[in-house]
Structure 1
Amino acid sequence: MKEKQQEKSPIKQNILLYLENKGVTPYEFYKESGVTRGILQQNNGISEDNIARFLAYAPDVNIEWLLTSKGSMIKDGSTDIQISNDTTTSAMPTTSMNPGIGTPYYDVDFIGGFDEVFNSQVNIPATNIVIRGFEKASLWCNVTGHSMEPKINHGDIIALRQCTLNDIQYGEIYAVVLDTIRTIKILRRSPDPSKLRFIPINTEDYDEQEFDKSRIMNVFEVIGSISKFF
């Protein structure tokens, strides 16, 4: 399996694409927006404050495109951005320490130790994430690895909803806890009805696998993923 260097976060890449499209240099952008100088060139996440500064600088940007790369870069019409407070769901991702607002975020990697945290009756989430479009999720956690790139990137956070084997929609992405491993893959039927096929998106570096259904301890629908912003 090939080792890969950490890549620039998708949100940063999209900000750079927006600036390129507008013919704005990074120097001009930093000067006019107040975004932390040099942050776009660093291979790490981007803070909520810097995202807010970018959105104030670029009111025409499509927030869904900025966060997920889906849709058009420029939003249709002139709808104002709705910024979250303690009673509304935010159009941009924010965090809340109010347990009644948003969805719990656990600062743990799904691949490494997630089920111990999920099954704990005393574990407290690090914060709650508030973002429009992810209301179905029951929790957020971290994800590492490259097998689902470019759909889910190393260092992203993923929104999960617990489900059962009977709920599985073949061809969709699921986070699965098996008896000895945890994995995030596309699930499909196997010729053997007692098994499921686990299919990566990055087929250049990762192979398809099959596992017995009897080995599955827990299944979560992957509602979506975003670049970690806090």
Structure 2
Amino acid sequence: MEKKGINDNQMTVNAGLSVGLIGKAKVSGKGMSSMNIEKILLAYPELSADWLLTGAGSMLKDDLNGIKTIDEANSSTLPTTSMNPSIGTPYYDVDFIGGFDEVFNSQVNIPATNIVIRGFEKASLWCNVTGHSMEPKINHGDIIALHQCTLNDIQYGEIYAVVLDTIRTIKILRRSPDPDKLRFIPINTNDYDEQEFDKSRIINVFEVIGSISKFF
């Protein structure tokens, strides 16, 4: 606003924000929702999303190596969110272990937002993690990027999120001496034990592309 020489009201009008929103954000220090941040970025395309979200780097895109396109801005290694369904990967605010069926089986479930981050283009969706069995690699409260696959796609020794007939779990998958079973191995072996389950009990398998701490 100082750079543009505008006041709260002018930015409110330009970005289509609710009256008084900027003043309230300043006074409360609580920041803004991802939707309002997106409105500001759309109103001022020269503004760096990374700078707005983190304070790091240059404020304006043309302070970098020329003005970035929207696609280039969205390929940042720093995560951002978008309410545009065509940009990024949908994030569902449910726990994989406790409420993932709400996402996968419901035709009316709507993602809370889309997450945009370079390196996760393969992901089909994001959701929450509950539990400590995969710490310190994946922590309780993180969000994970999932890509749906099949049993034939499994690369043994990698991390998968698996929906079985009675439970959902995130573990390293390995071969079992019994060809009809899979070994489910935690990283936190101090508190969790390895288990084996019949392949016939598996309903869905998702490759875990990666995890990040929740940032919004």
Per the normalisation by structure 1, the TM-score is 0.65
Secondary structure of 1:117's counterpart equals: helix
Tell me how far apart the structure 2 counterparts of residues 133 and 125 of structure 1 sit (CA, whole Å).
20
Given residue 54 of structure 2, which amino acid in structure 1 is its aligned partner? A
Given residue 119 of structure 2, which amino acid in structure 1 is its aligned partner? G
8 Å Cα contact 1:110/1:141 also seen in 2: yes
Unaligned runs of 5+ in 2: 1-28, 30-49, 59-63
Higher relative contact order (CA 8 A, sep 6+): 1
Secondary structure of 2:102's counterpart equals: helix
Once the two structures are aligned, what percentage of the paired residues are identical?
84
> Structure 1 residues 50 and 145, CA, compared in 2 at 3 Å: closer, same or farther?
farther
> Structure 1 residues 216 and 100, CA, compared in 2 at 3 Å: closer, same or farther?
same
Whether 1:165 aligns to 2:148 is no
Secondary structure of 1:113's counterpart equals: helix
Secondary structure of 2:97's counterpart equals: coil
Query: Shift in Å at residue 81 of structure 1?
Result: 9.6
**Equivalent position of 1:155 in the other structure:** 141
> Structure 1 residues 199 and 151, CA, compared in 2 at 3 Å: closer, same or farther?
same
> Structure 1 residues 145 and 83, CA, compared in 2 at 3 Å: closer, same or farther?
farther
8 Å Cα contact 2:173/2:184 also seen in 1: yes
State how 1:62-81 maps to structure 2 within 5 Å: none
- Bigger CA radius of gyration: 2
Match of 2:202 among 216, 224, 228: 216
Per the normalisation by structure 2, the TM-score is 0.69
Whether 1:140 aligns to 2:142 is no
Tell me how far apart the structure 2 counterparts of residues 82 and 114 of structure 1 sit (CA, whole Å).
42
Match of 2:76 among 90, 95, 98: 90
Q: Report the count of equivalent residues.
A: 162
Secondary structure of 2:123's counterpart equals: coil
Match of 1:194 among 148, 157, 180: 180
8 Å Cα contact 2:51/2:57 also seen in 1: no
8 Å Cα contact 2:102/2:109 also seen in 1: no
Secondary structure of 1:111's counterpart equals: helix
Tell me how far apart the structure 2 counterparts of residues 153 and 81 of structure 1 sit (CA, whole Å).
36
Query: Shift in Å at residue 50 of structure 1?
Result: 8.2
Tell me how far apart the structure 1 counterparts of residues 67 and 131 of structure 2 sit (CA, whole Å).
32
Whether 1:110 aligns to 2:112 is no
Deviations 1:179-229 (CA, angstroms, capped at 9, x unpaired): 000000000000001000000000001000000000000000000000000
**Equivalent position of 1:204 in the other structure:** 190
Tell me how far apart the structure 1 counterparts of residues 154 and 86 of structure 2 sit (CA, whole Å).
29
**Equivalent position of 1:127 in the other structure:** 113
Secondary structure of 1:211's counterpart equals: strand
8 Å Cα contact 1:175/1:222 also seen in 2: yes
Q: Structure 1 residue runs of 4+, over 6 Å off?
A: 80-85
8 Å Cα contact 1:84/1:90 also seen in 2: no
Tell me how far apart the structure 1 counterparts of residues 91 and 66 of structure 2 sit (CA, whole Å).
22
Query: Shift in Å at residue 176 of structure 1?
Result: 0.1
**Equivalent position of 2:54 in the other structure:** 52
Tell me how far apart the structure 2 counterparts of residues 205 and 222 of structure 1 sit (CA, whole Å).
22
Tell me how far apart the structure 1 counterparts of residues 151 and 163 of structure 2 sit (CA, whole Å).
12
RMSD across aligned positions (CA): 2.5
